[in-house]
C-alpha cells in the first residue's frame, strides 16, 4: 500500500469494517474482462458467503475461474475545501482476494445462509429443504486481505 499512514493492519479493525458494511462487491474475470457485482453477504472464519440464483453471468464466470477479489467500504464523508479538485473523501475500506467455491452440502448451505442472514439481522431463521435447494451459495476462502482508513 502506497500510503502506509492509512493502512489498517489490525485484524479486529478489518473485521469490524466487514461486519458494519451492507454490501460487498465481488470482482471476477470473464475471459480477460473485469466483472463486478454487489452482493448481500456474511462473514465468518475468514470466509465471505453470498447467495445467488442457480444461473447467470456470475455463476458462469465462477465455474470457469474461481479467482476473485472483493471490496467493502463504510463511513463515507465528502470533505469539501475550496476548489473541487482539492476535495477529499473519508472512508474505511477492505480489499481482499481468494478463491470462490460452490457450497453443495445442504447443512453447510444452511449454515452459510444463517451467516448471511445474521449479517443483517439478530433473528435466526430455519431454512426449509426447498429454500436450500432453490439457491446457490458461494463461499470465498480469503487468501489476502488489507484495510485502509482515510480521514482528513
Q: Domain for residue 85, yes or no?
A: yes
Percent of the chain clearing pLDDT 90 (strictly above):
77
Q: Domain for residue 30, yes or no?
A: yes
Biggest CA-to-CA distance, the chain: 58
7 grid coordinates: 493502512
Q: What is the CATH number of the domain that holds 29?
A: 2.30.110.10
Q: Domain for residue 119, yes or no?
A: yes
Q: Domain for residue 152, yes or no?
A: no
88 grid coordinates: 477529499
pTM of the model: 0.91
Q: Is the pLDDT of residue 145 over 90?
A: yes
Beta bridge partners of 140: 48, 100
Range of the domain at 63: 4-147
With 0-12 / 13-18 / 19 or more C-beta atoms within 10 angstroms meaning exposed / middle / buried, residue 58 is buried
Q: Domain for residue 38, yes or no?
A: yes
Q: Domain for residue 109, yes or no?
A: yes
Number of structural domains found in the chain: 1
pLDDT tens figures, 32-67: 999 999 999 999 999 999 999 999 999 999 999 999
pLDDT tens figures, 98-121: 999 999 999 999 999 999 999 999
Amino acid at each position: 500500500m502506497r500510503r502506509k499512514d492509512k493502512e489498517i493492519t489490525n485484524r479486529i479493525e478489518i473485521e469490524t469494517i466487514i461486519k458494519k458494511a451492507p454490501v460487498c462487491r465481488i470482482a471476477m474475470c470473464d475471459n480477460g474482462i473485469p466483472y463486478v457485482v454487489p452482493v448481500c453477504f456474511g462473514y465468518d472464519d475468514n470466509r465471505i458467503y453470498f447467495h445467488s440464483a442457480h444461473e447467470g453471468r456470475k455463476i458462469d464466470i465462477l465455474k470457469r475461474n474461481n479467482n476473485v477479489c472483493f471490496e467493502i467500504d463504510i463511513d463515507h464523508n465528502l470533505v469539501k475545501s475550496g476548489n473541487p479538485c482539492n476535495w477529499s473523501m473519508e472512508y474505511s475500506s477492505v480489499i481482499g482476494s481468494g478463491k470462490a467455491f460452490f457450497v453443495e452440502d445442504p447443512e453447510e448451505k444452511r449454515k452459510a445462509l444463517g451467516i448471511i442472514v445474521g449479517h443483517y439481522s439478530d433473528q435466526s431463521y430455519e431454512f426449509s429443504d426447498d429454500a436450500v435447494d432453490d439457491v446457490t451459495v458461494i463461499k470465498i476462502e480469503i487468501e489476502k486481505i488489507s484495510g485502509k482508513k482515510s480521514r482528513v
